[in-house]
Amino acid sequence: MQNFWNQRFSEPEFVYGREPNAFFKEMLEGLTPGKLLLPAEGQGRNAVYAAQKGWAVTAFDNAEVGRERALAWAAENEVSIEYLHVGYEDSAFDGEQFDAIALIYAHMPAALRTAFHQKLQAWLKPGGHLIVECFSPHQLNYPSGGPKQAEMLVHAHELREDFNCFNFLSLVEGEIELKEGAYHQGAAHVVRCLARKP
């Protein structure tokens, strides 16, 4: 998969656009800037936006090309982000240090997902927020992007189970219209979540 993402992120245009994810942008507006973690951040559209809004951003991805383009774009926009070249399984941070964590189309197999979500809980401060937008299994019926393997897709109730100690402020599964670069276009079926760690 690393080669796949390196090839995709090498395309001339930013493959998911330069604008932040709409749900991420909306949720961030309601939070006080602090330390933000963005796993699977790709070419940096959300990281650069958050840094412009005063967040101290740490991002990671296993695609080196995505990291390089994100750092270059951050420099063009005169903001600083920390961006690590690491995958889900090898990611590691000390203690409860983040005020918010956002998973924006961070796809992974079900067996890995639950373990990774437990790691996220350990990295988020008490009172910290979790923001998620991901494709639901119904996305298999839509041509607007996302993995074509059901095990990479998530129902709302599965997110609730993985983060069962959190307070869910919003958890919705349904159809939206995507306008994110070449690979996220048209009607899509997603899960959107805002939750708070007690």
Q: How many C-beta atoms surround the C-beta of residue 153 within 10 A?
A: 22
- Radius of gyration (Cα) for the chain, nearest Å? 15
Is the entire prediction scored with pTM above 0.75? yes
Residue 79 CA to residue 188 CA, distance in Å, equals: 32
What pLDDT, in 10s, does the model give residues 71-123?
999 999 999 999 999 999 999 999 999 999 999 999 999 989 999 999 999 99
User: How confident is the model at residue 173, as a pLDDT?
Assistant: 98
What pLDDT, in 10s, does the model give residues 144-193?
999 999 999 999 999 999 999 999 999 999 999 999 989 999 999 999 99
Question: Average pLDDT in the 52-79 region?
Answer: 96
Residue 88 CA to residue 74 CA, distance in Å, equals: 23
User: How confident is the model at residue 24, as a pLDDT?
Assistant: 98
User: How confident is the model at residue 157, as a pLDDT?
Assistant: 97
What is the CATH number for 59?
A: 3.40.50.150
List C-alpha distances in Å: 55 to 90, 138, 169.
24, 33, 21
Sign, Cα dihedral of 29, 30, 32, 36: negative
What total of structural domains would you count in the chain? 1
Residue 198 CA to residue 180 CA, distance in Å, equals: 33
For every residue of the chain, which 3-state class applies, written as one string? CHHHHHHHHCCCCCCCCCCCCHHHHHHHHCCCCCEEEEECCCCCHHHHHHHHCCCEEEEEECCHHHHHHHHHHHHHCCCCCEEEECCCCCCCCCCCCEEEEEEECCCCCHHHHHHHHHHHHHHEEEEEEEEEEEECHHHHHCCCCCCCCHHHCCCHHHHHHHCCCCEEEEEEEEEEEEEECCCEEEEEEEEEEEEECC
User: How confident is the model at residue 10, as a pLDDT?
Assistant: 83
What pLDDT, in 10s, does the model give residues 3-56?
887 788 888 788 898 999 999 999 999 999 999 999 999 999 999 999 999 999
User: How confident is the model at residue 3, as a pLDDT?
Assistant: 83
Question: What is the residue range of 161's domain?
Answer: 2-196
